[in-house]
Structure 1
Amino acid sequence: MRPLLLLAPLALLAAGCGAAEPSEAKAADAAREAARTVGERLYGQRPRTAEEAGREAAGMDGVEVMRVDGTSTHDGKGLVLVVRTSGSAYNSTFDLEEVVVRRCFAVRVSPGSEWREEPRDVDCPESLPLVFGPAPEPPELPAAELRAKLPRVPEGGRADETEVRRVLSALDMDPAVRTEVQAEDGRVGVLLLAPGDGFGAQDCVLARVGPGETEVWVPPRVQRMRGEAGCTVSNALHPAPLPH
């Protein structure tokens, strides 16, 4: 019986080794998760060109953009980004040093993409990673000119929406700037909104014209973040309280 007793621990150890996931597989899973975060970052319905999506992905830590297929997220089947990421793992029982792998994955970006969609394993291109120039500066919003030209309404009067729209149409603004005008209870609210990157603070100017008041301002940064209501024409008519 003694030889059998000696073999039992060895059998258990062998079974344990077989059940343990190799460090290389764990490292590859970590690389895949890094690629999945690219899809999360670009997920959404906002249209992006191939250059915009590639630049944003390339700006993420540990991500190299090797190729971008397609012209924009909303043309045809959208975009497919081939990204190279790395992952690492270490098992003190079996590894002499940390295991690091580099893998390439195809990340799909289109209106039909699913949240946390699984990136597809692909061969890494032999070419160097793509290099993207800096993003273009957002168009300037003419806050000072707007403040100078908006009408003044005396106490007891009513703001004229048509006149406010006439002022906006005469401003020298980039066509990419979105304007919104809304009239309510004798007052008129105005929003000027520049296109953004979809993640940072939005660039906008609000204005309100009413009896005895003509105001033009930029909401605080915290109110201009995505998901907040700072850059809306409603906030021009009913300003949110300033953050403490």
Structure 2
Amino acid sequence: MRRLLLLAPLLLFAVSGCGMFRSSEGEATDSARDVARKAGERLYGQRQRTAEEVGYIASSIEGVEVLRVKGASTRDGDGIELVVRTSGTAYDQKFDPQPVTVRRCFAVRVSPKSRWREDPRDVDCPDGPRLTFAPPPEPPALPHEELRARLPRVPEGGRVDEAEVRRVVAALDLDRAIRTEVRAGAGRVGVLLSVEGNGHDPQDCLLGRVSPGATEVWVPSRVQRMRGEGGCTVENALDRMPPPH
């Protein structure tokens, strides 16, 4: 009887230790799932993307391996579903002799119906190596020097001719991917040349403004060219934003 009483704490410790080990594995799995969830956040958006684009973006995220891609476009049918493999680590120094690391696979869906911070679905890892994707083509170069040379110069006290500015912009030999916008306001004319961005990196854009006594062409700062900052707008061309602090 005495021997059983002495063994009881050891048995309790062993059972608790196993429980904590499972808990550490569960925490490691949660950590791996969080990496997949953040990948979904990176891919979230209403912009239409091809499977190649989605796969390339996902595979460039640290800690994410893309194992399978299903679907052709984020706007077709149910969109695109990725199977990604991530890893997570947890450690409880009281019970774990060393950190517990797991590798898990999750399904991440990208479509207009996707929800922000949507939980990825646990799936079995498919056989085969991770997939690789070709990088997207480089965006067309914006004609900074050409626009600067061609925009009209108006003397102080003069009047800016919006039609002339529009003719200059229309005469530029621009790639079809470059969007243009011209707008007049407050006695000056603003010009925007922009390329659609991916929603995460700074957008490529070029601004111009013709005012009596000054013609300017510039690229907004990196911060201002991020999504939602308003740097790549014709409004910024007309009324230039102050530099970020």
The two structures share one fold, judged by TM-score above 0.5? yes
Task: Work out the CA distance in 1 between the residues paired with 2:222 and 2:58.
Answer: 24
**Runs of 5+ in structure 1 lacking a partner?**
none
SS of equivalent residue, structure 2 residue 223:
helix
In the alignment, what sits opposite 2:188? 187
| Counterpart amino acid of residue 123 in structure 1 | D
Task: Work out the CA distance in 1 between the residues paired with 2:16 and 2:100.
Answer: 20
Does residue 72 (structure 1) correspond to residue 73 (structure 2)? The answer is yes
Does residue 130 (structure 1) correspond to residue 145 (structure 2)? The answer is no
In the alignment, what sits opposite 2:231? 230
Matches within 5 A, 1:1-244: 13=13, 16=16, 20=20, 21-244=22-245
Q: Which moved more, 1:83-92 or 1:33-42?
A: 83-92
Task: Work out the CA distance in 1 between the residues paired with 2:10 and 2:141.
Answer: 73
Q: CA deviation at 1:186?
A: 2.4
Q: Which moved more, 1:43-52 or 1:79-88?
A: 43-52
Task: Work out the CA distance in 2 between the residues paired with 1:16 and 1:95.
Answer: 12
Task: Work out the CA distance in 1 between the residues paired with 2:230 and 2:65.
Answer: 34
| Counterpart amino acid of residue 105 in structure 2 | C
| Counterpart amino acid of residue 158 in structure 1 | R
**Runs of 5+ in structure 2 lacking a partner?**
none
Q: CA deviation at 1:156?
A: 2.9
Contact 2:202 2:227 in 1 (8 A): yes
Task: Work out the CA distance in 2 between the residues paired with 1:193 and 1:120.
Answer: 37
Task: Work out the CA distance in 2 between the residues paired with 1:91 and 1:186.
Answer: 68
Task: Work out the CA distance in 2 between the residues paired with 1:30 and 1:46.
Answer: 28
Q: CA deviation at 1:6?
A: 6.7
Task: Work out the CA distance in 1 between the residues paired with 2:11 and 2:127.
Answer: 45
Q: CA deviation at 1:235?
A: 0.8
Q: CA deviation at 1:3?
A: 9.4
Contact 1:80 1:107 in 2 (8 A): yes
Task: Work out the CA distance in 1 between the residues paired with 2:77 and 2:155.
Answer: 54
Contact 1:138 1:196 in 2 (8 A): no
Q: CA deviation at 1:28?
A: 1.4
Contact 2:52 2:134 in 1 (8 A): no
SS of equivalent residue, structure 2 residue 184:
strand
Contact 1:43 1:113 in 2 (8 A): yes
Taking only aligned residues, the RMSD between alpha carbons, in angstroms, comes to 2.4
Task: Work out the CA distance in 1 between the residues paired with 2:128 and 2:19.
Answer: 38
Q: CA deviation at 1:162?
A: 2.2
Q: CA deviation at 1:8?
A: 8.1
Normalising to structure 1: TM-score of the pair?
0.89
SS of equivalent residue, structure 2 residue 61:
coil
Task: Work out the CA distance in 2 between the residues paired with 1:224 and 1:192.
Answer: 13
| Counterpart amino acid of residue 242 in structure 1 | P
| Counterpart amino acid of residue 92 in structure 1 | Q
Task: Work out the CA distance in 2 between the residues paired with 1:22 and 1:186.
Answer: 68
Q: CA deviation at 1:243?
A: 3.4
Q: CA deviation at 1:165?
A: 1.7
Q: CA deviation at 1:216?
A: 0.9
How many residue pairs align between the two structures?
Answer: 244
Contact 1:88 1:98 in 2 (8 A): yes
| Counterpart amino acid of residue 125 in structure 2 | C
Task: Work out the CA distance in 2 between the residues paired with 1:132 and 1:146.
Answer: 35
Normalising to structure 2: TM-score of the pair?
0.89
Task: Work out the CA distance in 1 between the residues paired with 2:183 and 2:143.
Answer: 19
